[in-house]
Copies of this chain bind each other. A is one copy, B any other.
Amino acid sequence: MSGSSKVRRPATLASLAAELGVSRTTVSNAYNRPDQLSAPLRERVLEAARRLGYPGPDPVARSLRTRRAGAVGLLLTEALSYAFRDPVATGFLEGLALACERAGQGLLLIPVSPEHADVAAVHRAGVDGFVVYSVREDDPHFLAVLERPVPTVVCDQPAGVEGLDRVGVDDHAAMLGLARHLTGLGHRRFGVICMRLGEYRSDGPASAARLADIAYPVQRNRLAGLRAGLAEVGVDWATVPIWERFDHSVEAGQTAAAELLAAHPQLTAIVCTSDILALGALRRAVAHGLTVPDDLTITGFDGVPEAERAGLTTVWQPVLEKGRAAGELLLERGDRIRPRSVTLPTELRIGRTSCAPRDAERWFSGL
């Protein structure tokens, strides 16, 4: 209001053109195709723009016209503020950001506000495609994404729906490998700590009903892989206690391990479906006076740096690659003829938290 030059003039491309007595095309070209007009004319246009406070073509109007937003949307499991704490998610984000940067595309993080269950944010997102990272299969945001007529790639989901592109690892096979490592060492009495299995909070032993209806493919596959591995040596899955935690944190792993061990003190191995949970279990075991791995074997999943530092036996997966692959799949022009699926390799990393149980000889001598 005071004489500030910051009074935003609503100058538009059209008004600029009028002012200069040239056509809108010319002004547009001055910005988008410098080779389509003479240098002096271009300079005249740009100079006038500066003088009139014209900030250049409006990005939204341009997007409407060109039919491209120049950004990809990312839908995450949780409140995205949480994602920045999770090393697996940040690794994925880093890879995805890498791919976006290389393509000069923006990365739009879709807000999944816990308060307003705002599917609207998905509708509002001006993007050329979506990446969906490990969400519940019945997540309404996910469903909303599927409605949008833009290419979408899902991560760690079954290839399932309507020809989406997909990237992920074989969680089932990876966990099976880990299970074989453990049964090979002689373990027979397992306990499990896993991440959330459904929409609503539930902490503690997972009921059979809950296990039968796991909404998160990653958890479902990891548990199934473990089950298959144990079945190979005749361990009855129904006898394996499975402790669920809604929150994914070291503390959650810690308390879960405490409860699990209290209820089942005879366990020789605790398999966790994530490193974070395993680190918590590890902490609890140590605090409890147990020697790992001699008294108790503990394993994780993901291969995050912190786990490596701790010498955790785990399955490493290429999270950064996963993000990058997702981005490339989405941004790559061309053969979008049929859905593509990228499965990345995992690696069993045997650390210092697994060894034969004290009673191993019992099993082997029993043969």
Contacts and interface: CB of A to CB of B under 8 A. Distances in A.
Interface in A81-118: 81, 83-85, 90-91, 93-95, 97-98, 100-116, 118
Interface string A267-293: 000000000000000000000000000
Contacts of A105: 111
For this chain, the copies found in one complex come to 2
A150 B81 CA distance: 24
A352 interface: no
B80 A101 contact: yes
Contacts of A124: 59, 62-63, 70, 106
Contact of A97 (B59, B106, B109): B109
Interface string A169-197: 00000000000000000000000000000
Contacts of A97: 79-81, 83-84, 109, 111
A51 interface: no
A60 interface: yes
A6 interface: yes
A14 interface: no
A275 to B, nearest CB: 17
Contacts of A53: 149
Q: Which of A56, A57, A98, A124 gathers the greatest number of chain B CB atoms within 10 Å?
A: A124
A149 B11 CA distance: 11
A108 B111 contact: no
Contact of A56 (B56, B114, B123): B123
Contacts of A85: 90, 94
Contacts of A58: 64
Contacts of A118: 104
A72 to B, nearest CB: 10
3 nearest A-B pairs in the assembled complex, by CB-CB distance: A84-B94, A81-B97, A107-B109
